[in-house]
């Protein structure tokens, strides 16, 4: 094995021994995972975490929106018939109450899996590309240019 190959494989263990000597204790599995990782890895993890949190927070709103849209669509179809359609959902809060009463917490999070499967990779890629773009622009310009918001430098 070449000397360059052996030094790259021993780099995490060298970092771990330095960490242990400096802080006086063993490293945790999380600390071990973090050693030697690139910024892109952390950007992807941050994006995936944000995507997961976003999905959990917005899923009940998505369920409410979908129920209201479906009811409106069925009412339009039933308008052509002589049978009066029953309005089950009235507004956002009324829809939330009906779902909560009839289906509970599970009903509010119906469809969470597909939402998470969509958000996790989307935000992981977004954060990674954003981080890499910042690095590229910094390399090209030598610094990040400041942006002006409401006439003040930020």
What's this model's pTM, rounded to 2 decimal places? Answer: 0.63
Answer whether residue 43 is part of any domain. Answer: yes
Distance CA 126, CA 57 (A): 19
Q: Does 73 fall in a domain?
A: yes
Task: Encode the chain (154 residues) as per-residue pLDDT tens digits.
Answer: 444 444 445 556 666 677 677 776 667 887 777 777 888 899 999 999 999 999 999 999 999 999 988 887 555 555 566 665 677 888 889 999 999 999 999 999 999 999 999 999 999 999 999 999 988 888 877 665 556 556 555 4
Residue 96 within any structural domain of the chain: yes
Number of domains in the chain: 1
Containing domain of residue 95, as a range?
A: 39-129
C-alpha pair distances (Å), 98 with each of 22, 85, 88: 58, 17, 8
Asked if residue 104 belongs to a domain, the reply is yes
In a domain, 25, yes or no: no
Write phi, then psi, for 69 (nearest 5 degrees).
-65, -40
């Amino acid at each position: 094995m070449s000397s360059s190959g052996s030094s790259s494989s021993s780099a995490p263990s060298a970092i771990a021994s330095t960490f242990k000597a400096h802080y006086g204790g063993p490293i945790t599995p999380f600390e071990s995972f973090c050693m030697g990782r690139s910024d892109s890895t952390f950007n992807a993890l941050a994006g995936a975490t944000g995507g997961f949190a976003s999905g959990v927070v917005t899923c009940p709103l998505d369920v409410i929106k979908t129920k209201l849209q479906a009811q409106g669509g069925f009412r339009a179809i039933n308008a052509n018939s002589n049978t009066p359609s029953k309005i089950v959902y009235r507004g956002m809060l009324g829809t939330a109450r009906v779902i909560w009463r009839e289906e509970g917490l599970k009903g509010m999070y119906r469809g969470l899996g597909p939402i998470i499967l969509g958000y996790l990779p989307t935000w992981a890629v977004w954060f990674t590309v954003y981080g890499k773009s910042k690095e590229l622009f910094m390399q090209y310009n030598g610094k990040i240019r400041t942006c002006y918001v409401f006439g003040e430098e930020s």
